[in-house]
Amino acid sequence: MSLQSSGRQQREARGANARAEGQQQQQEEERREVTLFREYLRIRTVHPEPDYDSAIAFLERVAIDLDLPLKKYELEPSLIAVVITWEGSNPALRSVLLNSHTDVVPAFQEHWQYDPFEAVKDAEGNIYGRGAQDMKSVGIQYVEAIRRLRDEGKRFPRTLHLLFVPDEEVGGFRGMSLFVKSPEFKALNVGFVLDEGLANPTDAYTVFYGERSCWWVTVKCTGHPGHGSRFITNTAAEKLQKIINAFLGFREKEKARLDCSACMTLGDVTTVNLTMVHGGVQYNVVPAELAASFDIRVPPAVDLQAFEQQLESWCREAGDGVTYEFAQKGMDQSVTSTSESDPWWGAFSAVCRDMNLDVKTEIFPAATDSRYLREIGLPAIGFSPMNRTPILLHDHNEFVSEAVFLRGIDVYAGILPALASVPAVPAEQ
Ligand SMILES: CSCC[C@H](NC(C)=O)C(=O)O
Ligand SMILES: [Zn+2]
Ligand SMILES: [Zn+2]
């Protein structure tokens, strides 16, 4: 056996040390909010085989502890949405939905400093785990803010629903997408939604009021086949070359637009990435068909019809026998109002100002479950209260510090009363 310890041994040793320190600290002083969050992180709701049963059992205990009713809605066999409800004093008013997803993306253990499902807290108070940012922290912050408000004897006019959905990380097709279409969702009488956002490395908090449309498109190029030793004309490869040049040429222009503007963010430009190429038979056979797949994200301000015409013309210009097909084509471009005169945004932004939070509004660069909620006409804000934190969702060594996590509970304890006290909006009068 080598004298040098392996990566795994080092990780285990680090984990054991940090655990021992953490346990000691926990016995001495760890706050129950943090302990609950770390317990949730240890539940392996990780794709491709998320342990949703354990997450549901955990949430059932949370609801009992909060003394609030919990309902389960089966969306598909073994895919369950959980709703914990704190009824308002005027339940006829529309409710506020606090959404979080219970699933997390896979973690590659060998790249992590600690086991991604041990929820290790290091000496600096950083809590490591898959889901630490995306978005188990937010789920527990909602719970703990509500616990605090209830312990203080507060009650607000509007009902607060805590929703925990499965399968967001694989597109939400069997999760939120189904739930929003159900009569049970309608019965929740939702008026406004808080959902996930992103960390911000500066002092500011980022708040998302819309998302880019997600277009996944495969362009198929056909052409003359033949022997690999000859100059075959009109080949699939020549057409594919034109397609790739057109798509990636546009990508460069959009990148330059982003790079030369200090006030633009990723959500304001269109990104195009070549993510898959398909085709070919063997070295000496010129193939009759080749295809390229692109991940395209289009900001809400872009005219989608005009953009599709652009794709069409790139395909036409590449030659005959070039066609495209969508695997995903988001067409809804609804954004949530950030006008101060909007009752929901007005309440949200005013309370953020009162708490001295520096809020930056942006378009979310990727796709979240908020798109299903905006699609049915609901205002939804993406907000994960994590400032002074690097953006590590889906990355190795995802963490949030204990201090930022706890501060996020204070933030929700300020925001939730404001949202749950928004006076009846015109549609409710
Ligand atoms: C369109 S389904 C895929 C959803 C995924 N969401 C995130 C947050 O990574 C994405 O934007 O690729
Ligand atoms: Zn997420
Ligand atoms: Zn995610």
Q: How far is the CA of 12 from the centre of ligand 3 (A)?
A: 26
Torsion on CA atoms 51, 53, 59, 64, rounded to nearest 10: -150
**Integer Cα distance of 316 and 183 in angstroms:** 45
Nearest bound ligand to the CA of residue 211? 1
DSSP 199-246: --SSSSEEEEEEEPEEEEEEEEEE---EETTS--SS-HHHHHHHHHHH
Nearest bound ligand to the CA of residue 297? 1
- 124 assigned to a ligand binding site: no
Q: Look up tokens 């809400």; give the residue.
A: 300
Model pLDDT, residue 21 = 57
Model pLDDT, residue 4 = 39
Q: Which of 196, 296, 363, 368 to mutate to test the pocket of ligand 1 (most atoms within 8 A of CB)?
A: 368
ipTM passes above 0.95: yes
Q: How far is the CA of 392 from the centre of ligand 1 (A)?
A: 15
* Residue 397, token pair as written in the block: 């060594």
Nearest bound ligand to the CA of residue 101? 2
Model pLDDT, residue 140 = 99
Q: How far is the CA of 368 from the centre of ligand 2 (A)?
A: 7
Q: How far is the CA of 264 from the centre of ligand 1 (A)?
A: 21
Instruction: Give percent helix, percent strand, percent coil of the chain, each to the nearest 5.
Output: 35, 25, 40
Model pLDDT, residue 77 = 95
* Residue 227, token pair as written in the block: 């022997």
Q: Please calculate the CA angle 333-335-338 and round it to the nearest 5 degrees.
A: 160
Number of the ligand 1 atom closest to the C-alpha atom of 364 = 8
User: Which of these, 289, 276, 269, lies nearest to 216 by C-alpha position?
Assistant: 276
Question: Residue 426 in 3-state DSSP?
Answer: helix
User: Which of these, 38, 14, 16, 15, lies nearest to 26 by C-alpha position?
Assistant: 38
Minimal-distance CA residue to ligand 1 atom 6: 367
Model pLDDT, residue 208 = 98
Q: Look up tokens 């953490």; give the residue.
A: 22
Asked whether the beta carbons of 330 and 214 are under 8 A apart, the reply is yes
Model pLDDT, residue 70 = 98
Q: How far is the CA of 138 from the centre of ligand 1 (A)?
A: 18
Burial of 214 (0-12, 13-18, 19+ CB in 10 A): middle
Nearest bound ligand to the CA of residue 196? 2
- 184 assigned to a ligand binding site: no
Number of the ligand 1 atom closest to the C-alpha atom of 394 = 9
* Residue 186, token pair as written in the block: 């309608």
Terminus-to-terminus CA distance in the chain, angstroms? 76
Q: Please calculate the CA angle 77-81-86 and round it to the nearest 5 degrees.
A: 150
- 101 assigned to a ligand binding site: yes
Neighbour count for residue 282 (Cβ, 10 Å)? 7
Torsion on CA atoms 329, 330, 331, 335, rounded to nearest 10: -170
Asked whether the beta carbons of 208 and 364 are under 8 A apart, the reply is yes
Number of the ligand 1 atom closest to the C-alpha atom of 214 = 1
Using a 6 Å CB cutoff, which residues line ligand 1?
171, 214, 328, 366-368
Q: How far is the CA of 275 from the centre of ligand 1 (A)?
A: 14
Active site residues: 103, 168
DSSP 350-413: HHHHHTT--EEEEEESS--THHHHHHTT--EEE-----S----TTSTT-EEEHHHHHHHHHHHH
**Integer Cα distance of 103 and 44 in angstroms:** 8
Q: What does residue 185 show for φ and ψ, rounded to 5 degrees?
A: -65, -45
Model pLDDT, residue 220 = 98
Average pLDDT for runs of 10 along the chain of length 429: 43 55 62 98 98 98 98 97 98 98 97 98 98 98 98 98 98 97 98 98 98 98 98 98 98 98 96 98 98 98 98 98 98 98 98 98 98 98 98 97 98 98 91
DSSP H/E element including 255: helix 236-259
Model pLDDT, residue 427 = 82
Q: Please calculate the CA angle 150-153-156 and round it to the nearest 5 degrees.
A: 75
- 134 assigned to a ligand binding site: yes
* Residue 420, token pair as written in the block: 């749950």
Model pLDDT, residue 426 = 85
Residues, CB within 5 angstroms of ligand 2 (ion): 134-135, 196
Model pLDDT, residue 429 = 80
Model pLDDT, residue 205 = 98
- 47 assigned to a ligand binding site: no
Model pLDDT, residue 98 = 99
Crossing angle of helices 236-259 and 304-317, in 10° steps, is 140
Model pLDDT, residue 207 = 98
